[in-house]
Structure 1
Amino acid sequence: MRVIGYLTLYGNYLLSSTDPFYYHVVNVFIHLLNGLVIYKLYFVICDYLRIKPQTKFILFVLAIWMLQPLNTQAVTYVVQRIAAMVALFSLMSLLSYLKWRTTKHTLWLIFAFFAFILAMLTKQNAAFLPVFIILMEISFAQKLVSKRLIFTGGISFFIFMLVYPFIGSFLHQLDVATRESQVITRFDYFNTQLTVHWLYLKKFLLMAPLTLTMDVILVKNETLILFAYFIHLSVIFLATYFKKSQPLIFFMVVFYYCAHLVESSIVPITDLAFEHRTYLPNVAISFIFVSLLSNFFDKIKISSQVNYLISSFILILLAVTTYQRNVLWQKPQDFYKNEYKVAPKNPRNLEAMGRLYAEQGNLNKAVAMLSDSLNLNFKQGKLTASSVTNLMKVFTMQGNYQGAVITGQKSLLYIKKPANKSQILSAMAFAYSKMNLCPFAFGLANTAKRLNPYNQEAQKIITYCKDKK
């Protein structure tokens, strides 16, 4: 489903092979395009909400969002171009739809649909857009339109309740299809995401700690969960209560929650939190932040000079922090050491440090780190093929071939995906080949090849064992 994003990466590869510079150029260009679309979108939103646009306001919003350090993962981390691209197509679709609502030119509606299809072919979290549009139409459209939408929604819900008993198997299949993790329940995932939102907001406001992975576990504390429910409901209530006087804030609050709808609500994903998931919702947070700040400055009647001074300080702070974060991205060793320092019990950070120690030749330290990573992954119910195979590779480098084989055998009891099994089987085959037990290595490599025909490591072992005969 991520065809468009991967096509751009493939295009980069065709034009510049693996030179990272040109990949980053494209990522930055997409980020700049997003900024341009947000600028245009603001004026269209103002038309839709019937409020007066302010150029200084949108320029400050845009500067905050463009320079926001929290966005570096979606811009600097090459593969997360997908997050930036789905944001681009989603924003273009929303812009086109609102242009259609204010101009009634059919071409805009066609373009909105086309941009939405591109967004869905980039990443599935674009599915939030129809939900957001319906909510906005109910909230801001003419009474007749709102009544029709509410009536249609009510009839649809009534029909759903009538047919529900007869579509149980279909709903079960739908439930499976809308899960990335079969271990985490939707209820636990949703409750945890209620607290994750505040971690995202903390990172946005404090610009720290910024990490590739976030050390988040499932939240089971009922008091914390109830408090999170209360805060979120309070935000929604206040935004609704002040909708007439602050329509833009209401618009952006709804946009924020809708933009998080797929990845941070009821679709269980193994990784509970990632900074790149905030890239599009950060647009809303930037608007809300600047709106509240402007209202506060107006209320205390702050002078324009002080206003400019504070605004400049904020932007300089954002720019410096973003620059420092990008410098860190350029130094892999320093980057992963920082990750480990921030979250020493995070399985991914332990795995990264294990690989780093292995590259430096400190194999005992590498085994300790990788073993801790594997055990933590297992306890959290998300054993990964990479954590297993990296440990197996270091065991093999040590000459501890039995340790590598036993690790692989144990992990196969829990690893279910064919491609992941193939990866582990080929690592076991490699250990057997090092023991000069080619019959075992050949059999395991063949099985790995059947599970994943594209497994090049398995093919190398098959070729090696054939040559040994």
Structure 2
Amino acid sequence: MKWVTLDLLYQKPFKYKMFSNTKNHLGFLILAILAVYSLSLNAPFYLDDFRSIQENYLLQTGSVQDFFLQNRFIGTMTFFVQEKLGINSVLEYRLVNISIHILNTFLVYLLVNSLLSLCGKENKTIAFFSALIFAIHPLNSQPVIYIVQRYSLMSAFFYLLCTLTYIEFRKAINTKHITRTLSFVLILIISMFLGWFSKQNFISVIFVLVILEILFFKRDKSYKTLYSSLLFLGVSLLIVSLTTESGKEFIKLIDSASRETKDISRLDYFFAQLNILWIYIGKFFAPIDLRLEYSIFSNSFSNLTTTVSFIGHLCLLVSSIVLFKKRPEITFAILFFYCGHMIESSIIPIRDFAFEHRTYISNFALSFLLISFVTECGKAFNKQKEVMALISITVVTYSVFTLHRAEMWSDKEAFFENEASLSPKNPRVLTSLAKIYRNNGKVDEANSTLELAYKYSNNKLRDDVASNYFAMLVEQKRVNEATEVAEKLLPQTKDLLSKNQILHNLGALYFQLGNLEQAKNYFKKVCNSKKPLPESYYSLAIIALKEKDLLKAESVLRKLVNFAPNYEAGNQLYLKVLEAKKMINRRVK
């Protein structure tokens, strides 16, 4: 095989059909993605997969109206449709995620092509390698394999689609093609609507479109007037908000809506994110020790480290401005990276400081920057063969890392043991590992791991840790401890599902003690809430049978079957109760 020169890479299309044909590029990208994610196809459900998908009985019994215009309803609707069509196995859910990742990779390919075209450097080869890095990079594996992170994939799809559509929309305006202009406006509006209801980080795409306008398109007097008017309006609204009572109330509303927790100040969160962004960048170029959970807090970084991180970001931003005239596509990629992290890694406090799936959108920019930097170096030093060799080695290395990561996801116990080795004091990791141990019959290991999770929580129990720790106490019939912990947990547990799990386990505790009336009270509280548990209905039915109230048991089980039709234990008991009722009726006759 002949090496392709950098002159071809930048100025001429490849001679070879493989490297000049868009269909071949896209076909190779599909094969690469299927290859690196092949080992993850039968990986089990993880963490929020259970709550949002497998145990979300509204997906089975609800209707479109139950989800419409709710938070992230577009992603939820994809799960709902799969459930209704019966394509709801772990394999089928994950295949849909991989398909969305393939579409996003195509969009990266087209977007890089469009950006280079705006600069007069249209080149499918650079677009291909940028898309290939994005396609197989191990840092992108979390949102692809972790099924519930489809929300991130969907958001990225509409984010990239909006960016690409805006470029085509502006080109249509410049060519005065009315039909194309209106078509792209329609696509842009629909994409922005769907993107907003996919995940809230999508909103930063507005800044990306503004950057596109400033960098690549003609700014005549009408545009300057528009920008000046918008700036005047923004300043006026800010003054009104800060000086009037209604304005101050509006500011409070915005403040409340733009934070997940009040336990972290905006400034502390921002300072931590200055460092975390460098962790993300480091993981992109050296994807080692990838993990689901990071034990990072507001005090995890020293003032010196934060200052150095800030200076580093400032240098990157200054570099992007310096490159503005000569290399606007590089400027755009750098600014796109920061826009992609603007919501989750800036001043909006989120309880979890870092997650790798948050890098997914911005990894487009890093993929493009990596290929651009390598090819520029090859051009400067006339090292064409070395450049192609380096790109090939990088692709193979990233592919191996992704294959390894995919294989790890397929073994749940090994996955969480690895997580625990990387974050040995993370309560959520330890709780998840304990649940796996219990499911695998390792009860002693499960209990000791849960004790560690409780210990490292330092009286600031996460809801999931709280409910699982309490379940362990109930199972071990540690009545006094369980009662004491319940009194402390219930007032501070905000998540309704976790609170219901604690109430259910209290009912189970009293059931074990033979106090059926008290047990019924707790089970009824769960069943009457907005997020009931099928186990509570089942337990009420068992109590009714113990009390020889067949009609009550039938009534409760009917509600259970309607609420959770896939709850197998409930279905079996309901059939037995109906059969018993028929037998009684025959005897009476």
TM-score normalised to the size of structure 1?
A: 0.94
1:197-218 CA-partner distances (Å, limit 9, x unpaired) = 1111111111111111122121
Deviation string 1:82-114 (CA, Å, 9 cap, x unpaired) is 111111111111111110101121210111110
Distance 1:224 1:255, change over 3 A: same
Contact residue 463 and residue 494 of structure 2 kept, 8 A: no
**Counterpart in the other structure of 2:115:** 45
Question: Once structures 1 and 2 are overlaid, which stretch shifts more, 180-189 or 456-465?
Answer: 456-465
- 1:38, distance to aligned residue in structure 2 (A): 1.5
State the match for 1:156 in structure 2.
Answer: 233
Shift of 1:468: 3.4
Task: Name the counterpart of 2:57.
Answer: none
Q: Which residue of 1 aligns with 2:138?
A: 69
Q: 2 CA distance for matches of 1:218 and 1:385?
A: 20
Looking at structure 2, the residues matched to 13 and 21 of structure 1 have their Cα atoms a distance apart, in angstroms, of 13
Question: SS of 2:378's equivalent?
Answer: helix
Structure number with greater Rg is 2
> For residue 501 of structure 2, what is the aligned residue in structure 1?
423
Decide whether aligned partners of structure 1 residues 463 and 335 sit closer, same or farther in structure 2, where only a CA change above 3 A counts. Answer: same
Tell me the equivalent position of 1:129.
205
Q: Residue 375 and residue 172 in structure 1: after superposition, are their counterparts in 2 closer, same or farther (change >3 A)?
A: farther
Query: Quick one: higher RCO (CA 8 Å, sep 6+), 1 or 2?
Result: 2
Structure-2 separation of matches of 1:361 and 1:9 = 31
> More displaced, 113-122 or 389-398?
389-398
Partner of 1:466: 544
The Cα shift of 1:453 comes to: 4.6
- 1:209 aligned partner, one-letter code: D
In the alignment, is the contact (CA less than 8 A) between 2:204 and 2:339 conserved in 1?
yes
Cα distance between partner residues in 2 of 1:71 and 1:323: 12
Q: 1:406 aligned to 475, 484, 499, which one? A: 484
Q: Which moved more, 1:274-283 or 1:51-60?
A: 51-60
Query: What are the equivalent positions in structure 2 for 1:264-279 lying under 5 Å apart?
Result: 264-279=345-360
Say which SS state the counterpart of residue 412 (structure 1) adopts: helix
- Once residues 158 and 324 of structure 1 are traced to their aligned partners in structure 2, the CA distance between those partners, rounded to angstroms, is 51
Is 2:470–2:482's contact at 8 Å kept on the other side of the alignment? yes
* Distance (Å, rounded) in 2 between the aligned partners of 1:168 and 1:368: 50
The 5 A counterparts of 1:68-467 are: 68-104=137-173, 105-144=181-220, 147-164=224-241, 165-166=243-244, 167-219=247-299, 221-302=302-383, 304-378=384-458, 381=460, 383-467=461-545
Indicate if the aligned counterparts of 2:378 and 2:387 stay in contact, CA closer than 8 A: yes
* Residue type of the alignment partner of 2:423: A
Query: Which of residues 15, 21, 24 is equivalent to 2:85?
Result: 15
Q: Distance in 2 between matches of 1:463 and 1:177?
A: 41
In the TM superposition, residue 248 of structure 1 has moved relative to its aligned partner by 1.0
Indicate the larger mover: 173-182 or 400-409: 400-409
Q: Which amino acid aligns with 2:506?
A: M
Query: Alpha-carbon deviation of 1:236?
Result: 0.2
- In structure 2, distance between residues paired with 1:137 and 1:213: 38
Range that drifts further, 389-398 or 3-12? 389-398
8 Å contact from structure 1 (residues 448, 458) kept in 2: yes
Verify the 8 A CA contact 1:367 1:395 in the aligned structure 2: no
Q: Structure 1: which 5+ residue stretches go unaligned? A: none
Which deviations, in whole Å up to 9, do the C-alpha atoms of 1:380-411 show, x marking residues without a partner?
Answer: x5x32221121122223323244333322211
Q: Which amino acid aligns with 1:250?
A: T
Amino acid at match of 2:388: Y
Instruction: Render the CA deviation track for 1:22-76: whole Å, top value 9, x for unaligned.
Output: 11211111111111112122222234x4331122111111111101001111111
Given that residues 46 and 53 in structure 1 are in contact (C-alpha distance below 8 angstroms), is that contact kept between their aligned partners in structure 2?
yes
1:135, distance to aligned residue in structure 2 (A): 3.0
Any idea what SS the aligned residue of 1:240 has? helix
**Per-residue deviation, residues 311-370 of structure 1 (Å, max 9, x unmatched):** 111111111111111111111111111111122112222112211232344434323322
Q: Secondary structure at the match of 1:405?
A: helix
Q: Show CA shifts across 1:218-244 (max 9, x none).
A: 146222222221111110001111111
**1:158-198 deviation digits (Å, cap 9, x = unpaired):** 31233112211121122111111121111111111111111
How far apart, CA to CA, are the structure 2 residues paired with 1:95 and 1:339? Answer: 37
Give the Cα separation in 2 of the matches to 1:160 and 1:94: 28
| Deviates most, 193-202 or 432-441 | 432-441
Question: CA separation in 2, counterparts of 1:441 and 1:17?
Answer: 38
Once residues 29 and 317 of structure 1 are traced to their aligned partners in structure 2, the CA distance between those partners, rounded to angstroms, is 23
Letter in 1 for 2:116: C
Deviations 1:117-155 (A, max 9, x none): 111111111101112212332344323255234312321
Contact 2:272 2:298 in 1 (8 A): yes
DSSP-derived class of the 2:295 partner: coil
Matching residue's letter, 1:460: Y
- Partner of 2:292, secondary structure, is coil
- Residue range with higher mean Cα deviation, 232-241 or 289-298: 289-298
Secondary structure of the residue aligned to 1:447 is helix
SS at match of 1:413: helix
Checking the alignment, whether the CA contact within 8 Å between 1:432 and 1:440 is kept in structure 2 is yes
Aligned to 1:24: 94
Distance 2:276 2:412 in 1: 27
Please give the secondary structure, in 2, of the residue aligned with 1:267.
Answer: coil
Name the CA distance, whole Å, in 1 between partners of 2:302 and 2:249. 33
- What are the superposed Cα offsets for residues 234-263 of structure 1, whole Å, 9 maximum, x if unpaired? 100011111112211110111111111111
**What amino acid sits opposite 2:109 in the alignment?**
Y
The sequence identity of aligned pairs, in percent, is: 27
Separation in structure 2 between the aligned mates of residue 339 and residue 453 of structure 1, nearest angstrom:
30
Q: 5+ residue gaps in structure 2?
A: 1-70, 174-180, 548-589
Query: Secondary structure at the residue paired with 1:142?
Result: coil
Question: What residue identity is the alignment partner of 1:432?
Answer: Y
**1:300 partner letter:** F
Counterpart residue identity of residue 100, structure 2: I
Query: Aligned in 2, Cα 1:330/1:418: closer, same or farther, shift over 3 Å?
Result: closer
Q: Normalising by structure 2, what TM-score?
A: 0.75
Structure 2 residue matching 1:262: 3-state secondary structure: coil
